[in-house]
Amino acid sequence: MVLNIQILRGIAAALVIWVHAQELIVRDVLPHSIKQFGYGGVDLFFVISGFIMVHITRN
């Protein structure tokens, strides 16, 4: 289970890096819908945090 959470954290980090990199490198080249895809990384971090809090309090 811990490995799966680490994989999700890696995906979330990659999505956040994607948002920042596209703003610095390509700016207005990509369509807005593709730019919005990267914001899911922050949401994923919140979901992971909530899962960890519930898991800890149940044990």
- pLDDT value of residue 35: 67
Q: Which residues of the chain have pLDDT under 70?
A: 1, 27-30, 34-35, 59
CA distance 31 to 11: 21
CA distance 22 to 30: 8
- pLDDT value of residue 40: 81
- pLDDT value of residue 30: 67
Task: Give the pTM.
Answer: 0.67
